Chains A and B, each alone.
Chain A
Amino acid sequence: MPLDAIPVVVINASENSSAADSGLSGNAPVLLREIAELAQRLLASDEASAIDLRALPLTPADLDWLREALGQGQVVATLQAEGESTLSETVCPGVWWVTHHNEKGAVASEFIEVTYVPELLKAHPDDVKIGLEHLEMLISDLS
């Protein structure tokens, strides 16, 4: 088949925008109910939980819809660890949107965590000990 035989049609970006809107699968709204359930569980039994967004059939448009619906709360924490991770609280306190990027900037995993404070943000006692040693060294240098 000669190359000319393959039709090449340039699509105008503005014409195409309505098609992009149709990327919703309808799987995102039901997640709100699950998140509500997990929030109730957190209140009732202090039990933290998470939803692995990569494990669900969600289109990029679904994820955008969900992100929009949950909104942006007051807290955003970033973690620099082999690529950036962002842990941001949504408009609903206790519901966190956690995105792990790899060192190339691609999303490696994405979760919704329902917890008072994400585990990743807390300092580990062993690390606090190391920090304490460092502090003591700083203090001894003073004299």
Chain B
Amino acid sequence: MQGPLIDTLARQGVTRRTFMKYCATLASMMALPPAAGRAMAEAMAAAPAATKRPSVIWLPFQECTGCTESITRSHSPSLEGLIFDAISLDYQETLMAAAGHQAEEALQAAMKANEGKYLLIVDGSIPLGLDGAYSCIGGKSNLEALKEAAKGAAAIVAMGSCAAFGGIPKANPNPTGAVSVSDIIKDKPIINIPGCPPIPVVMTGVLAHFLTFGSLPELDSKGRPKAFYGETIHDRCYRRPFYDQGKFAKTFDDEGARNGWCLFELGCKGPVTYNACATVKWNGGTSWPVESGHGCLGCSEPDFWDAGGFYKALSMPADPLKFASTAAAVGAVAGVAISFANRGKKGAAKSAHETTTLADLEK
């Protein structure tokens, strides 16, 4: 285990054992066999020197910066930062010192200098409505910017549910015509890292995989790295045994809830949500939604916002499309009733309130 990275680390006071421990934990989080930790430690330690660091360009579109927050506030900045030391982050609006024309020039320069080689990270969805006018940067629509940057990219990472699947901007009725990166770009490898926000270590894990094995990790049918999205929350949940035993919390304050039983009946979306929260956890491994007593919202799945109610059990009919006709009929009846009520109100208002006319003023 020798190489430029381990030397850089040593200068920063990070010992070989610290690095090995980090890699063991990272391998565990990536659901790789324990022996992979050592392989990663060896490969990453031999990462290329600063001059050859792979260029990374990060473009923000219709997003809330939550994804950037998630990554930059990951639990151990010094160690997560190690991974970022192995890359060259050439454009990131929130983090970069440059602004305005300087920033845009940096972007153009990075794209030109690393053409065909840079990794493009996108967070946020892309609005197609009004010719993309809903979201522009430097006078350029997101659609234009994405197409331009994608042209020279080696691969694209769609960071967060918005970039991966459209996310909240795409939620009904999707006023801006938001779409995902993969809806637009068809000729580049795209890795989806969904989540609202995604787990920081998933990002560093993908980069570590890139540096270790020289390739992108294996992806599932929705373009997500299998290491993190290979199993459902439910399959790796520590409360799973209670599900198998039929022990469920029925309300948020009953005996079952206090005993930490399964939250399925309280609307947990764990069984249909592919993510690594159950093993990686949040806030530096402190806890995660189910451990805090709340079911999974399914934020890393497509259209999670419109999936029919966070507190509805999956076994209850939830598909809004399937039941749209019934809902529309009920809605129509309710609409008629409301309009009657409004008409009544209007009449009452009219009789109670005498309007002033020009004739009145002349009196």
Say how far B257's CB is from chain A's closest CB, in angstroms.
11
Indicate whether A30 reaches chain B with its CB closer than 8 angstroms: no
Say how far A116's CB is from chain B's closest CB, in angstroms.
16
B28 touches A54 (CB 8 A): yes
Indicate whether B238 reaches chain A with its CB closer than 8 angstroms: yes
Indicate whether A59 reaches chain B with its CB closer than 8 angstroms: yes
A119 touches B38 (CB 8 A): yes
Query: CA separation between A33 and B262, bound complex, in Å?
Result: 28
Name the one of B16, B28, B75, B259 contacting A55, with C-beta atoms under 8 angstroms.
B28
Indicate whether B136 reaches chain A with its CB closer than 8 angstroms: no
Indicate whether B24 reaches chain A with its CB closer than 8 angstroms: yes
Query: CA separation between A19 and B254, bound complex, in Å?
Result: 13
Please, which residues of chain B bring their CB within 8 A of the CB of A23? 259-260
Identify which of B146-154, B204-212, B213-221, B278-286 touches chain A: B278-286
Residue of B nearest to A6 (CB): B253
Restricting to A35-70, which residues have a CB under 8 Å from any CB of B? 49-52, 54-55, 57-60
Indicate whether B258 reaches chain A with its CB closer than 8 angstroms: yes
A124 touches B1 (CB 8 A): yes
Please, which residues of chain A bring their CB within 8 A of the CB of B94? none
Known A-B contacts A19-B255, A102-B76; the reply to A120 vs B286 at CB < 8 A is no
Known A-B contacts A54-B279, A57-B238; the reply to A104 vs B284 at CB < 8 A is yes
A59 touches B253 (CB 8 A): no
Indicate whether A1 reaches chain B with its CB closer than 8 angstroms: no
A109 touches B24 (CB 8 A): yes
Please, which residues of chain B bring their CB within 8 A of the CB of A49? 34-35
Indicate whether B224 reaches chain A with its CB closer than 8 angstroms: no
Give a binary string over B1-42; 1 marks a CB under 8 Å from any A CB, 0 the rest: 110000000000011111011101100110101110010000
Name the one of A7, A16, A25, A119 contacting B258, with C-beta atoms under 8 angstroms.
A16
Interface size class of B (residues with CB under 8 A): 35 or more
Indicate whether B46 reaches chain A with its CB closer than 8 angstroms: no
Interface size class of A (residues with CB under 8 A): 35 or more
B284 touches A106 (CB 8 A): yes
B28 touches A52 (CB 8 A): yes
Indicate whether B79 reaches chain A with its CB closer than 8 angstroms: yes
Residue of B nearest to A85 (CB): B21
Indicate whether B174 reaches chain A with its CB closer than 8 angstroms: no
Say how far A11's CB is from chain B's closest CB, in angstroms.
6
Known A-B contacts A52-B28, A102-B75, A104-B75; the reply to A120 vs B21 at CB < 8 A is yes
Please, which residues of chain A bring their CB within 8 A of the CB of B253? 6-9
Interface residues of A (CB under 8 A from B): 6-9, 11, 16, 19-20, 22-23, 25-27, 49-52, 54-55, 57-60, 79, 81-82, 85, 100, 102-104, 106-109, 111, 113, 119-120, 124, 126-127
Can you list 15 A-B contacts (CB < 8 A)? A11-B258, A23-B259, A49-B34, A50-B34, A51-B34, A54-B28, A55-B28, A55-B279, A59-B241, A79-B21, A81-B17, A82-B14, A82-B21, A82-B79, A126-B2
Known: A82-B14, A82-B21. 17 other contacts (CB 8 A): A6-B253, A8-B253, A9-B253, A11-B258, A23-B260, A25-B242, A26-B241, A55-B31, A81-B17, A81-B21, A100-B21, A100-B25, A104-B284, A108-B285, A111-B24, A120-B21, A126-B1
Closest 6 CB pairs of A and B: A25-B241, A50-B34, A81-B18, A106-B285, A109-B25, A109-B28
